[in-house]
Homo-oligomer: A and B are copies of this chain.
Amino acid sequence: MMFEQLALIGCGLMGGSFALALKRAGLVKRVVGYSKSPSTTERARQLDVIDVEAPSALLAVSGADLVLVAVPVAATEATLKAIKHMVTPSMLIMDVGSTKGDVTDAARRALKEQLGSFVPAHPITGKELAGIEHAEADLYRGCKVILTPTERTLTVQLKQAQALWSALGCEVVQMSPEAHDAAFAAVSHLPHLLAFALMNAIQGQAQGVQFLPLAGPGFRDFTRIAASDPKVWRDILLANGPELLAQSQLFQAQLQAFETLVRSGDAKALEALIEQASAARTQWQMTQTAKPC
C-alpha cells in the first residue's frame, strides 16, 4: 500500500501528525496541504509536514488518492462540499473527528453519490497543545482508531483504511456512529466538560489566583485536557450534545451521592463509594497496553 498524494485539509496537530506518520512509514509520495489560514499552510510547508501548499481544499484534492479532513467537526460538511467535484470512486477520504454521528450525516449530505469513498475515523489520541508546531510522527503510534463506516462505504476503502491505520501502529476498532458517540460522551467528552468547568470554577473565585500556584501533580493530570483547543471542543460538545448531557446527569447523580455522605459524615459508606471508583480505575489501568497512547 503506497499512496501517490495525500490531500491534507486542515494542517493542525492531528492532520500534521498524520502527514508526518505517513511520510515516515513511507506510505505516501507527496503531501499537498490546505488550511483556512494561509499562514498555517505556509508554516506546515516550512516544517516539511506538507510538500506543496494548495490555494484551496479543492485543489489539494486534485490528483490525490488519499484525503484527510482534519478540521473542527462542524466544518466537515462545508469541507466535503468544497472538494466533492474532485472526489473519484477510487479515492479514500477520512476524517479524524471526535464525534461520528454528525460527521456521518454531514458526509451523507455533502458527498451524496460519492459517499462510498468516505470512511469516518476517530483516532483516540491527541494532546493539549494544538497547532502544526506540535505535530509529531509518533502521535498515532499505539493508539486505537475507531472506524464508523456508513451503509454505503465501499469495502475497498474500508480495507485500505484498516491497513493504513494498522501500518501506523494503531489498533483498529469498528462500530456504529451511534455506539461511538454514546461511549465517547462518557469517556472523553464529559471529562473534558468537567475539566473546563473546574478551571472556570477556580478562576471565578477571588482567591483562585492564590489557590492555583499550590496545585500539584493530581491537578496537573486531571486538568490537562482543559487546555484543549476551544474551537475543536466547542464543536464536539455541540455535536454530541444530547449524549453529553445525559452522561452529565448520571455524573451529577453520583456526585450528589458523594456529597450526601460527606455532609452526613458516613465514613463507612463513603469509603465503599471511593473503593468502587478506585477499583474500577485500577482495573481499567490493568487492561491498558504498556504504552497507552
Contact = CB atoms under 8 A, between A and B. Distances in A.
A290 interface: no
Contact of A194 (B212, B216, B255, B278): B255
A187 B293 CA distance: 26
Contacts of A196: 258, 273-274, 277-278
Q: Which of A184, A230, A274 has the most CB of B within 10 A?
A: A274
B247 A262 contact: no
Contacts of A245: 259, 262-263
Nearest to A179: B210
A222 B191 contact: yes
Interface residues of A, number: 96
Nearest to A191: B222
Interface stretch (A23-31, A53-61, A152-160, A264-272): A264-272
Contacts of A276: 199-200, 203
A204 B254 contact: yes
Contacts of A229: 278
A6 interface: no
A288 B220 contact: yes
Contacts of A183: 207, 210-211, 214
Interface stretch (A38-46, A63-71, A232-240): A232-240
Contacts of A225: 218, 221-222
Given A193-B258, A198-B190, A250-B204, A274 B221 contact: no
